[in-house]
Amino acid sequence: MFRGFISDAAVCMSICVMGVFLCFLSGRCGSGQFQCNNGQCINTEWRCDGTKDCTDDSDELNCPPPSCSSQEFKCVTSGECIPQGFVCDGEEDCIDGSDEERSCGGRTCSPDQFTCQEGQCIPKKYRCDHVKDCVDNSDENNCNYPSCTEKTCANGACYNNSQHCNGLQDCRDGSDEFNCTTQHCPIHQYQCTNGYCIPQSFVCDHWDDCGDNSDEQGCVYQSCSGSEFTCTSGRCIPQRWVCDHFNDCGDYSDERGCDSDSRDCYPGEWGCPGSPVCIHMDKVCDGKPDCPGGTDETNSTAQQTCSHDRCSALSCEYGCHLSPQGGTCYCPDGFIVANDSRSCVDYDDCKIWGICDQLCEDRPGTHHCSCANGYFLEQGHVCKANISGNVVIVTLVVPVGVVFWSVKPW
């Protein structure tokens, strides 16, 4: 949820996360909700489900390891369970390929891996790190754990003082990033009383962007003149800014009822000017024409030069990429640029064909894949039929949405 969209369930608190402003519910979360370490509220069912829904990933921390049955194999990194029949079948079913890294057909572990007693291969750095990665826990046997001289992870591992709250997960359980409150805002940003960072332009704009209202303290608000438009929030903007495809009000009240010619490109893509074609943002101004007519590159004839000249004026919420128009805003994974050409809004990932094999649930900034009964989810998005007797049910999905069911001998 982004700036300008307020939940009616409670007071909305706008928080800057990696330059993106997310709306969190302040205070306690409601029944059926889990409160993230940063105060964000999510569905309780999303806790420890393998998908990181909290922006600080706290919904997937300190989760009990999934228990696999005697007929299943536990993948090393993800911890997901797959049927034993999928192990050593020549196909990697685990994301890390651990189901094919065991002593399959006489194969042995590589020099940079540790061989568990039952033959499983894991990264050598996982040996004696306070986390049980081997199915038989042999990677944590006969360990001489050192005494921590600086800081200790929740699981007992050691890390340095400089690694505490540095934005990187140095403890495998993520505990080195717990309870981090110290924050220093970059230049051109305002530091709220609660430590959050917001753009200077958001100060005294009739919006509680900080969440503690510190950005609206001591402000003198003026009445709008006859040549100005009064936003719903009370902000004044020039009349010529109304219906100009920019969210100048911050609450979109100056763009309501206006026709929009915005494109519907996938996250991480850029719409080619004058064409419905979308290309990856990395291909814009890379010296190679990818759009029809080469509109993604410098064109001296059309007076289009790849640069960042417009970036300061755009005030992008997340980041600005060079473009032939002098810069264009882009958003993190799972979000697209809104009609104002500056802010980021959530994109329904489930609209991307093939992102999940069967069932897809869209979530803010991410998505969650699942499978129908009789199927196993592997690698986070692939559904594989469960082995039952001597037949395997095979599902073939074609782009037009027709599904064929058939059986074949195993």
Asked whether residue 226 falls in the same domain as residue 244, the answer is: yes
Asked whether residue 10 falls in the same domain as residue 44, the answer is: yes
Asked whether residue 288 falls in the same domain as residue 333, the answer is: yes
Asked whether residue 276 falls in the same domain as residue 246, the answer is: no
User: In what helix (H) or strand (E) does residue 311 lie, and over which residues does it extend?
Assistant: helix 311-314
The answer to whether 63 touches 55, Cβ cutoff 8 Å, is no
Q: Give the predicted TM-score (pTM) of the model.
A: 0.37
Q: Is residue 375 part of a domain?
A: yes
Asked whether residue 384 falls in the same domain as residue 242, the answer is: no
The answer to whether 127 touches 121, Cβ cutoff 8 Å, is no
Asked whether residue 285 falls in the same domain as residue 344, the answer is: yes
pLDDT digits (tens, 9 = 90+) for 287-299: 898 888 888 998 8
380: left (phi over 0), alpha (psi -120 to 50) or beta: left
How, if at all, do strands 158-159 and 151-152 pair? antiparallel
Q: Is residue 45 part of a domain?
A: yes
pLDDT higher than threshold 60 for residue 322? yes
* Total count of domains within the chain: 4
What residues contact residue 152 under an 8 Å CB cut-off, 6+ apart?
158, 159
Which one-letter amino acid corresponds to residue 236?
Answer: C
Asked whether residue 343 falls in the same domain as residue 196, the answer is: no
What is the torsion angle, in degrees rounded to the nearest 10, for the CA atoms of residue 53, residue 58, residue 63 and residue 65? 70
Q: Is residue 74 part of a domain?
A: no
Confidence band of 404 (pLDDT split at 50, 70, 90): very low
pLDDT digits (tens, 9 = 90+) for 275-286: 778 888 999 999
Domain boundary residue, one of 220, 249, 282: 220
Half-sphere exposure of 382 (CA within 13 A, CB side): 12
Task: Let me know the angle formed at the C-alpha of 198 by 209 and 243, rounded to the nearest 5 degrees.
Answer: 70
CATH of the domain at 377: 2.10.25
Asked whether residue 298 falls in the same domain as residue 325, the answer is: yes
Domain boundary residue, one of 306, 331, 349: 349
Cβ atoms within 10 A of the Cβ of 222, count? 8
Phi/psi of residue 101, each to 5°?
-105, 5
Q: What whole-number distance in Å separates Cα of residue 270 and Cα of residue 268?
A: 7
Q: Which of 2-16, 286-300, 321-335, 371-385 has the lowest mean pLDDT?
A: 2-16
Residues of the chain with pLDDT > 90, as a percent, come to: 5
- Which of the given ranges, 17-21, 196-200, 317-321, 361-365, has the highest pLDDT on average? 317-321
The answer to whether 342 touches 318, Cβ cutoff 8 Å, is no
More confident residue, 141 or 349: 141
pLDDT higher than threshold 70 for residue 6? no
Q: Is residue 119 part of a domain?
A: no
Asked whether residue 331 falls in the same domain as residue 399, the answer is: no
CATH of the domain at 297: 2.10.25.10
84 secondary structure, DSSP code: G
What is the torsion angle, in degrees rounded to the nearest 10, for the CA atoms of residue 327, residue 210, residue 214 and residue 230? 60
The answer to whether 298 touches 324, Cβ cutoff 8 Å, is yes
pLDDT of residue 398: 41
Asked whether residue 246 falls in the same domain as residue 203, the answer is: no
Report the pLDDT averaged over residues 395-402: 41
More confident residue, 329 or 67: 329
Q: Is residue 8 part of a domain?
A: yes
9 secondary structure, DSSP code: S
Overall size of the chain counted in residues: 410
pLDDT digits (tens, 9 = 90+) for 46-68: 888 777 788 777 888 877 766 78
Asked whether residue 253 falls in the same domain as residue 274, the answer is: no
CATH of the domain at 37: 4.10.400.10
- Tell me if residue 323 falls in helix, strand or coil: strand
Q: Is residue 114 part of a domain?
A: no
Q: Is residue 167 part of a domain?
A: no
pLDDT digits (tens, 9 = 90+) for 9-28: 334 444 444 343 444 444 57
More confident residue, 46 or 245: 46
Asked whether residue 57 falls in the same domain as residue 188, the answer is: yes
Domain boundary residue, one of 349, 375, 398: 349
Report the pLDDT averaged over residues 184-199: 72
Q: What whole-number distance in Å separates Cα of residue 161 and Cα of residue 120?
A: 34
pLDDT of residue 256: 63
50 lies in which domain range? 1-61+183-220
Rg (CA), the chain: 26
